[in-house]
Structure 1
Amino acid sequence: MNVISSKECREKFINFFAAREHMFYPSSPISIESDKTLLFVNAGMCQFKDIFLGKLALGSELRKLKRVANSQKCIRAGGKHNDLEDVGKDVYHHTFFEMLGNWSFRDYFKEKAICLAWECFTQEFGIKPERLYVTYFEGDEKQNLKPDLETKQIWLKYLPEDHIIPGSAADNFWEMGDVGPCGPCTEIHYDRIGDRNAANLVNKDDPNVLEIWNLVFMQMNREANGQLTELPGRCVDTGMGLERLLSILNNVTSNYDTDLFIPIFEKIFSLCSNLAHKYSGAIGDEKNAEIDIAYRIVADHMRAVVVAISDGVLPSNEGRGYVIRRILRRAVYAGQKLSNSNVPWLYELVDTISDILGCAFPNLIKTKDNICKIVLEEETQFIKTLSIGLKLFNNSVDKLNNCKSPPVMTLSSTT
């Protein structure tokens, strides 16, 4: 089987849609300062929010857009979409990821969107149709939302009915956040195993049955009071994680077994001289899982930190900066399990990460020296903090061990 690189995969997707009259529109920065409802860009549609809402300024360049495709930088580490605590434990969650997407702004809708997705998967990427399962919105009586039977009927042109599954609002009614554009969606899932019916495993957190593409039919807006109102026009917003797609195309069972991560793991191993083994992909109770979890946390979190700093989000004690500082400190803490050392080294991963992602996001190459400097400063300071905390803890333990009898607790009367 031929290995496809992340660069080839990204370009293949964008070129497919370019050949179908979609304009390439660059990724926005990881934070949009004008949108106070959003911590980080968590989906490809964020920079197009005003198009959906019909609130574009007269001179906005976005007014000319009808069909668009791109790869958007995303971070999910807070708010409605938060994957931070899952990173490392499994092999398919990330804080930073690239979202491949295509959009229709009051142009085509459900029929064309589904047709394009099907052609892209089965023809452009050669994914086996029998491995695919799709979901559609089953409706929600509490919100007075009807089932999206139109989407089900469209999918019946491509898949047997036992591969088409109704889904709840939690899975099949996509919302940007507590407020903002939203609508029913249809998810495309892929079964890594094959030669079976895996419909009962869809949306069950099975590592071998993954959601890979979400097609959202933007029709409504969630107001601040929780009410749903109609948008001024119907739009299509689709999103697919590059990391998951790449793992499927290369027939590997982990997002981390691709060229987006392997060079980072190799660099980590070269920097940590005491490490007994290279990254092996272990999870759960498997041998070496604790070390491999640390590998994944460091690689994932450092990607998020590098991209965020490149886009001007600097570590701080408030807002977005605090989240990035927290992510970096989680990486430092995990990194100490790998290096068993108080010497900073995570900053040395910046070059590797910038080289991997720089072909898609050139600003990473331009800013990598400054990123290195900032990461080194943060890493050094946090290691000092950890060392001081450890000394205080050890001193307290020593004092307790030297006591001839345990301290007596007394309760004073409050009457």
Structure 2
Amino acid sequence: EAIAWAWELLTEVYKIPKDRLYVTIFGGDEKEHLSKDEAAYNCWKKHIAADRILPGNKKDNFWEMGDTGPCGPCSEIHIDCRSDAEREKLPGKGLVNAGDPQVIEVWNLVFMEFNRLNDGSLLKLPARHVDTGMGLERLVRILQNKSSNYDTDLFSPVIAATEKLTGKRYEGTQSNSDVAFRVIADHLRAISFTIADGQLPSNTGAGYVIRRILRRAVRYYFSFLEIKEPLLFKLMDVLASEFESVFPALQKQKDFVSKVIHEEEISFLRTLDSGMKRIEDYFTKASDSREIDGKTAFELYDTYGFPLDLTRLIAKEKDYMIDEKGFEKEMQIQKNRSRNATAVDAGDWVIILADAKTKFVGYEDLLVKTQVVKYRKVTAKNKIQYQIVLETTPFYAESGGQVGDTGTLTIGGVKLLVTDTKKENDLIIHFTDAIAEDMEADVIANVDYEKRLHTMYNHTATHLLHAALKQVAGKHVNQKGSLVSPDILRFDVSHFAKFTDEELREAASIVNEKIRENIPVVIKEMPKEEALKSGAMALFGEKYGDVVRVVTIDPNYSIELCGGTHVGHTGMIGSFTIISESAVAAGVRRIEALTGGAAIRYTWNQLEQHKAISGLLKSKDIVKSIEKLLD
């Protein structure tokens, strides 16, 4: 069916001429004891002449996801994009999988029937599947009868705009300048869509992938188009307009995405010139080894912000290699240095209840009778602590930005202070400075009610603030991090500019209005898909189980997936005030706020300071008085 459907779509729906198509099948491999894929061959004979069904080797026609995992033979559809005269002169049969840029694969069908094991052997899968698809860019190239993906209307508008901005002409050759045009068009699209989806550039994980792609594009226009100032962000208007009908989110978030890209460009351009001079100086002074040593590669990464793949690309242009093992060694030295600064020496667990699992009951109870499952001694920064795991616990472990609970464990009459609660490998770990003599005795676990209560004020207020900021500044505002503690809430959000005083006042006003309305905070568990369909907001990059906890504060105002602790009604929060707004990173702003009594005390302190300054200046209008003094 997969073969028939692929053929039908290409030849009957897209009307691609059959005489331009070839197919490949797996021809077998003696070393693997794998025979020719006769099933695919027999299927293809129903649709195409036998002389156009070409056997392929393991490299081309046996797909594997990695060293281990699902794999299987694959069948590809190739198209000969050459002119009629070229095809008549030389049939395309011999050019399939031979590197000819005009004879290209357009479709792949992978028949997943094996699992590659660690020892290299193949095991038949109990259930078999077909993994199939094609490249959009290649299909557009074929349908638009272009000689390159970059000549299609997927890329040409951005390339044309780049020509105008740079004063350079795109010729479609393999010159460095033309490659730069193509890199810019391709990379800009990749980073823009990803940022619009919620992934911001950073130094770790997926965020670093975005940063690496962006910096590669910057280096290309810097070196080969001789542009020394930010360029990519200027192309956003064209890109967003081009894809508005199929990806309207980019147009809606255009200003935000442009701001993030602009700040990233500025940041890298600060060090790019000196970094390029450093590597050019290395090439000038290098020996005959034609290798960039690990220390230099790491210096470029650590000091000048050059991702390793960018250094590798520059080195290749000069026929140099990189001592990647040396680079990894330097990276490990830095990691060890950082790790040693926070090293923890943990002793072996003392097991009291074998195979017991911790049950968290802290949503309902703050005081429970329980047992110790296991405990151990740990030393960090020359301080001795103990980690205790309980069979049942009311203590909330640090998660989702909310700090861990504190309180007491009374074991056999000995009261121990719990200074923190964290998660480690699904364990809820209670930190204490001591242990009881009899750790097998009954335990009374008691959470500090006041601290938990104030943490709940701040967590619910964080949800109110998130919704308010979206209402005031736009739907692009999304949570990027948070700290919810008893004393303060800190909220990091995506936003392309500093929040104005007016925006902050309006957001705070909305939050206080929702507090006065005393809205019930409704918490339910439900399947993730059901929650998302109801409009619940999931945080980008967070991992959720099949069943999620949904916190609703008026279905028309705020619905979020959240595992934290919250008040029963918003009125319990009392009051809310924003005390600061600042930048954290490109496109990320940080807001700090207070709730309840802390917010009221902060307001009174501000008024008292205002009154004291007014008295010193002997003026009710202190701003004008200070302006006069400064003049």
Task: Tell me the TM-score range normalised by the shorter chain.
Answer: 0.5 to 0.7
Indicate the SS of the match to 1:147: coil
Displacement of 1:351? 3.1
CA distance in 2, matches of 1:294, 1:169: 34
Tell me the secondary structure at the aligned position of residue 31 of structure 2: helix
1:230 paired with 2:124, answer yes
What does residue 46 of structure 2 align with? Answer: 157
Q: Distance in 2 between matches of 1:393 and 1:136?
A: 46
Task: Please say if 1:240 is aligned against 2:134.
Answer: yes
Q: Contact (CA 8 Å) 1:295, 1:338: kept in 2 or not?
A: no
Pairwise CA distance, 1:197: 2.2
- For residues 30 and 11 of structure 2, the distance between their equivalents in structure 1, rounded to whole angstroms, comes to 35
Gaps of 5+ in 1: 1-111, 284-288, 398-415
Aligned position for 1:184: 73
Task: Report the CA distance between 1:239 and its aligned residue.
Answer: 1.3
Question: In structure 2, what residue type is equivalent to 1:367?
Answer: Q
Match of 2:161 among 259, 263, 267: 267
Give the corresponding residue for 1:325: 211
Given the alignment, which residue of 251, 257, 273 partners 2:145? Answer: 251
Deviation at 1:366, TM superposition (A): 3.6
CA separation of 1:347 and 1:392: change in aligned 2, threshold 3 A = same
Kindly provide the CA deviation profile for residues 58-117 of structure 1, in whole angstroms up to 9, marking residues without a partner as x. Answer: xxxxxxxxxxxxxxxxxxxxxxxxxxxxxxxxxxxxxxxxxxxxxxxxxxxxxx111111
- Deviant stretches of 4+, over 6 Å: 391-397
Compared CA separation, residues 294 and 362, structure 1 to 2 (3 A): same
Q: Greater RCO between the two (CA within 8 Å, min separation 6)?
A: 1
In the alignment, structure 1 residue 313 sits paired with structure 2 residue 199: yes
Q: Residue type matched to 2:199 in 1?
A: V
Q: Is the contact between residue 78 and residue 107 of structure 2 (CA under 8 Å) also seen in structure 1? A: yes
49, 74, 93: which one aligns with 1:199: 93
CA drift of 1:353 comes to 2.4
Q: Does 1:281 align with 2:150?
A: no
C-alpha contact (below 8 Å) 2:40/2:75 kept by paired residues: yes
Counterparts of 1:234 and 1:227, CA distance in 2? 18
- One-letter amino acid of the counterpart of residue 377, structure 1: E
Matched ranges for 1:74-153 at <5 A: 112-153=1-42
Q: Which has the higher strand share?
A: 2
Q: Distance in 1 between matches of 2:156 and 2:214?
A: 20
Q: 1:348 offset after TM fit, Å? A: 1.7
1:352 is matched by which residue type in structure 2? V
Aligned counterpart, 2:506:
none
| Offset, 1:342 | 2.0
Deviation at 1:309, TM superposition (A): 2.1
Answer whether contact 1:336 1:342 (CA < 8 A) is retained: yes
Residue 166, structure 1, aligned to residue 64, structure 2: no
The alpha-carbon distance between structure 1 residues 220 and 356, as it changes in their structure 2 partners (threshold 3 A), is farther
Taking structure 2 as the reference length, what is the TM-score of the superposition?
0.42
d(CA) in 2 for partners of 1:394, 1:215: 46
The 1-side partners of 2:281 and 2:78 are apart by: 53
Give the letter aligned to residue 211 of structure 1.
Answer: E
From the superposition, tell whether residues 252 and 394 of structure 1 become closer, same or farther in structure 2 (CA, over 3 Å).
closer
Shift, 1:384, TM fit: 0.9
Secondary structure of the residue aligned to 2:106 is: strand
3-state secondary structure, aligned to 1:189: strand
C-alpha separation between the residues in 1 aligned to 2:194 and 2:97? 30
Percentage identity across paired residues of the two chains: 49
Secondary structure, aligned partner of 2:253: helix
Q: 3-state DSSP class of the match of 2:149?
A: coil
Deviation string for 1:284-303 (max 9, x for gaps)? xxxxx232111011111111
Q: How does 1:42-57 map to 2 (within 5 A)?
A: none
The one-character-per-residue Cα deviations of 1:327-360 (angstroms, maximum 9, x if unpaired) are 1111001112465232212112233223333433
- 1:323: Cα distance to partner? 2.7
Alignment coverage as a number of residue pairs: 279
Cα RMSD, aligned residues only: 2.5
2:254 equivalent among 368, 371, 384: 368
Amino acid at match of 2:172: G
Secondary structure of residue in 1 paired with 2:147: coil
After TM superposition, the score normalised by the length of structure 1 is 0.62
Q: Which runs of 5+ in 2 are unaligned?
A: 284-631
- Counterpart contact for 1:175–1:181, Cα < 8 Å: yes
Distance in 1 between residues matched to 2:142 and 2:250, nearest whole Å:
27
Q: CA deviation at 1:322?
A: 2.5
Q: 2:266 aligns with which of 380, 399, 404?
A: 380
Partner of 1:209: 103
| Alpha-carbon shift at residue 379 of structure 1 (Å) | 0.6
Residue in 1 that maps onto 2:421:
none
Alpha-carbon distance in structure 2 between the residues aligned to 1:175 and 1:187: 15
Give 1:207 shift: 0.7
- In structure 1, distance between residues paired with 2:92 and 2:157: 33
